[in-house]
Structure 1
Amino acid sequence: MRDLHQTDSVLASRDDARAQAGIRSEHMPYLPASTSPYTPDAVDPAQLVWAETVAPGGYTHKVLARGSRLRFDDPTGDACASIVVYNALEPCERLNVADTQKIPWQAYLGAGSPLLSGDGRVLASIVEDTSGRHDAFCGTSTDAWNTAKYGDAAPEGPSPSGRSLLAKAAAKHGLTKRDLPPSVSFFQGVRVEPDGALEPVGSAGPGHHVTLVAELPLLVLVANVAHPLDPRTDYVVGPLRVHAWRGEPTSPADDRFGATPELTRAYLNTIDHAEARG
């Protein structure tokens, strides 16, 4: 416990606060981003625009420029990144999980998968994936779910729900719970059985990553929480590393642009929308 004399006046409180300026946490944003100790291989630290380690049960958010690369790393095998993305210029355009699955004829996310909006445009593309264990079926956990399973769902408690944390992240950008669509999850997979049952398959183990490219200016919301179908009775989630750096959006020269007629149309819609807005 601190000595009360350290904070018994305004000046003492100021000095106490400044004395803690050099304290570092294992889970924090790295400012500037180039100081990240976990910069991905082959990425120039000077190009980083976002670097952060998200705590288990934590959340984060960021606005990224079109073309930015966004990489998530699961160092322990227990991260579960619940993600929602929006068109940062017009947040009414947001991730549509149903269209993300049905328009490209994909049930499971992986390299080459687009994250589509309800307007037929690609918000982000998955360009790299070493995990293969993701979920676009279940969304993230809710307060009711976590309260029933763990006995608590408070955002500041030991088992926060993904929806509550995403709502906190959304509020930083003037959005409310009504603006939150279903999310996708990276690093904790789910498969559909022949009878239609959803079967959790867990993670691919530690050390895997997923990289996306922002096809439009993106608002990214992230909650790092236990997957709702995690069979473990305890609330288990590991740290999540996030890095972003400047790059270029998908172009007709990229293989994924012409992978299917549906994808070509979605990318054309995206480019048209972006170019019309400069």
Structure 2
Amino acid sequence: MSRTPEQIAADRARYEEHQRKGLSFAAKALPEASVVPAAPIAGDVIATETLAAGWYWSTLLRQGEALRIAQTHGFASVALVCWSARDTSERLNLPDTVKVQWDTRAQRGRVLFSDMGRVMLSITEDSSGGAHDVLLGGSTAAANAAKYPGAVTRNTRDNFVLAAGKLGLSRRDLPMALTLFAPVRVSDDDGHFAWQSDLLDGNHYVDLRAEMDLLVALSNCPHPLDPGPVYAPNPVEITRYVAEVAGDDLCRTATAEAVRGFENNARAGA
């Protein structure tokens, strides 16, 4: 049944009032982008990995540990999915992450939510100022075949299927992927997506702190909207370390939803 203009206007008004209340909670502005070059890691380094161009990597990341993902070899987009290590039916939920924080920018001071309303990862450093994609997901074999005809390529979807299998999971367990270093923005009122190359220069990094024990998978493949005509991803460096939590940690207090998310974590013993 079609809705009347009055019903649509009333729903819009309720949404805007709900948004106003949610945004008014945040008394502090989010911090500026992290400095470049990156400051030394403050916590104890556990291991350093090189994620080869086009390939994938997975790990068990304990609560309180963090990953620094850095473009040390030039521009690269890195997709990420994760699951609760305790119960893999709980997984990353980007629609909820965007909805409850009223922002499509995954940037320093924000958190990534699970589909159970708990905080999975905190973005503690981000030199790109939120130039990441939370809307489209990663590449597929079909998209690569159309974009790079005749080329031999790897893609994020297949990489994650392989990574999930090694973790005892299947393709049906895959959530929508966050793609780091993918400057996707909504370009107009019609909702078209655009790649804004000026937001990144191939020398950025992001730090993600685990707020529960996680299974994390990464894929280093070009994003579907990357305008480069040639399939030529670069390696990235991944540093795993023990994170230090500041007493005034903005990730925990920036929004009412983040506060509730951490309360949910505590309630569940994470």
Q: Report the counterpart of residue 166 of structure 1 in structure 2.
A: 160
Q: Report the counterpart of residue 145 of structure 1 in structure 2.
A: 143
Higher relative contact order (CA 8 A, sep 6+): 2
Q: Output the CA distance in 1 between the equivalents of 2:183 and 2:95.
A: 17
Are the aligned partners of 2:106 and 2:132 in contact in 1 as well (CA < 8 Å)? Answer: yes
Q: How far apart are 1:48 and its partner, in Å? A: 2.3
Q: How far apart are 1:50 and its partner, in Å? A: 3.0
CA-based RMSD = 2.0
TM-score when scaled to structure 1? 0.77
Are the aligned partners of 2:110 and 2:254 in contact in 1 as well (CA < 8 Å)? Answer: no
- The share of aligned pairs that are identical, in percent, is 36
Are the aligned partners of 2:185 and 2:195 in contact in 1 as well (CA < 8 Å)? Answer: yes
Q: How far apart are 1:248 and its partner, in Å? A: 5.1
- Superposed CA offset, 1:135-176 (max 9, x none): 101100111111222236xxxx83111000111111111111
Q: Report the counterpart of residue 177 of structure 1 in structure 2.
A: 171
Q: Which structure would you say has the larger Rg?
A: 1
Pairing partner for 1:259 from 251, 254, 257: 254
Q: How far apart are 1:42 and its partner, in Å? A: 3.0
Matches within 5 A, 1:228-239: 228-239=224-235
Q: Report the counterpart of residue 269 of structure 1 in structure 2.
A: 264
Matches within 5 A, 1:1-278: 41-43=39-41, 47-132=44-129, 133-151=131-149, 158-195=152-189, 196-202=191-197, 204-247=200-243, 253-275=248-270
- Superposed CA offset, 1:241-264 (max 9, x none): 10111135687x423322221111
The amino acid of 2:210's aligned partner reads A
Are the aligned partners of 2:134 and 2:178 in contact in 1 as well (CA < 8 Å)? Answer: yes
Structure 1, unaligned stretches of length 5 or more? 1-39
Q: Output the CA distance in 2 between the equivalents of 1:250 and 1:227.
A: 34
Greater displacement, 140-149 / 61-70? 140-149
Q: Output the CA distance in 1 between the equivalents of 2:267 and 2:239.
A: 28
Are the aligned partners of 1:76 and 1:205 in contact in 2 as well (CA < 8 Å)? Answer: no
Q: Output the CA distance in 1 between the equivalents of 2:61 and 2:250.
A: 24
